[in-house]
């Protein structure tokens, strides 16, 4: 996703920024395997069974070797996946990642998707009702509503701000980013509405 070089920008060293950003994104990627394991553990504690999912590849480079259409077809074909979730996956994989979007647009979408999740978990953790949750659900919330995840999201946000404000070809892609963000938020809304099904 990230370019290997960026034009010199007077306000800061753009190439150093890209290296730092690459490091941050790789650190975030390494958490995915542990996150999936934790999710499976919490779901198992509730007596639910998840469909078999492929393991998270060791690096982003390994992950992108599979054609996006194939990846979408595999995920959408999992039994029980809701239509709203399929539409969101289709948008993220085929429209965004598979389209001609600039890396700053994709980076903005990544940051916003992580921010939505982080803010939602912290909202629940800080709510009055959090103390009434059973231990499994509370532990699930606390696993994501933590300072390290918030710091990661803040780092991504700082990177988006740097790219946007300091102009690594952002201005030319402003409309593209608006469309991408609107599509993301529509999918996130459907996801969170789906997650409330069956709750009282």
pLDDT digits (tens, 9 = 90+) for 9-20: 545 566 777 788
The residue written with tokens 């539409």 in the block is: 87
Of 51-60, 71-80, 134-143, 146-155, least confident by mean pLDDT is 51-60
Q: Give the pair of three-digit tokens for residue 7.
A: 């034009």
The residue written with tokens 């690594």 in the block is: 168
Residue 48 to residue 66: CA distance in whole angstroms: 29
The pLDDT value recorded for residue 167 is 56
Q: How many CB atoms lie within 10 A of CB 27?
A: 11
Residue 91 to residue 72: CA distance in whole angstroms: 10
Which alpha helices (DSSP H) does the chain contain, by range? Answer: 14-45, 60-63, 68-76, 83-90, 103-125, 135-144, 147-166, 174-195
Comparing 2 with 22, the larger pLDDT belongs to 22
The third-level CATH classification (topology) of the domain covering 14-195 is Heme Oxygenase; Chain A (1.20.910)
Span 12-52, pLDDT tens digits: 566 777 788 888 888 888 888 888 888 788 778 778 776 66
CB burial class (10 A; 0-12, 13-18, 19+) of residue 21?
buried
The pLDDT value recorded for residue 195 is 67
Residues contacting 124, CB < 8 A, separation 6+: 130, 141, 145
The pLDDT value recorded for residue 14 is 66
Q: How many residues does the chain have?
A: 200
Residues contacting 30, CB < 8 A, separation 6+: none
* Residue 166 pLDDT grade (very low, low, confident, very high; cuts 50, 70, 90): low
pTM for the model:
0.80
- Give the CA angle between residues 29, 33, 35 to the nearest 5°: 95
Residue 96 to residue 183: CA distance in whole angstroms: 9
3-state SS assignment for residue 65: coil
């Amino acid at each position: 996703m990230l370019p290997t070089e960026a034009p010199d920008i007077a306000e800061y060293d753009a190439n150093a920024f890209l290296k730092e950003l690459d490091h941050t994104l790789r650190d975030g990627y390494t958490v995915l395997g542990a996150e999936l394991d934790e999710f499976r553990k919490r779901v198992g504690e509730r007596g639910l069974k998840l469909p078999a999912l492929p393991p998270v590849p060791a690096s982003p480079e390994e992950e992108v070797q599979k054609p996006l259409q194939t990846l979408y077809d595999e995920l959408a074909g999992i039994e029980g996946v809701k239509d709203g979730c399929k539409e969101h996956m289709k948008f993220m994989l085929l429209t965004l990642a598979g389209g001609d979007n600039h890396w700053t647009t994709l980076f903005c979408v990544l940051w916003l998707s992580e921010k939505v999740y982080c803010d939602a978990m912290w909202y629940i953790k800080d709510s009055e009702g959090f103390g009434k949750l059973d231990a499994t659900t509370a532990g699930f919330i606390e696993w994501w509503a933590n300072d390290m995840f918030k710091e990661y999201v803040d780092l991504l946000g700082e990177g988006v701000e740097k790219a946007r404000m300091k102009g690594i070809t952002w201005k030319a892609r402003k409309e593209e980013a608006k469309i991408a963000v609107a599509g993301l938020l529509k999918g996130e809304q459907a996801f969170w509405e789906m997650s409330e099904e069956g709750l009282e």
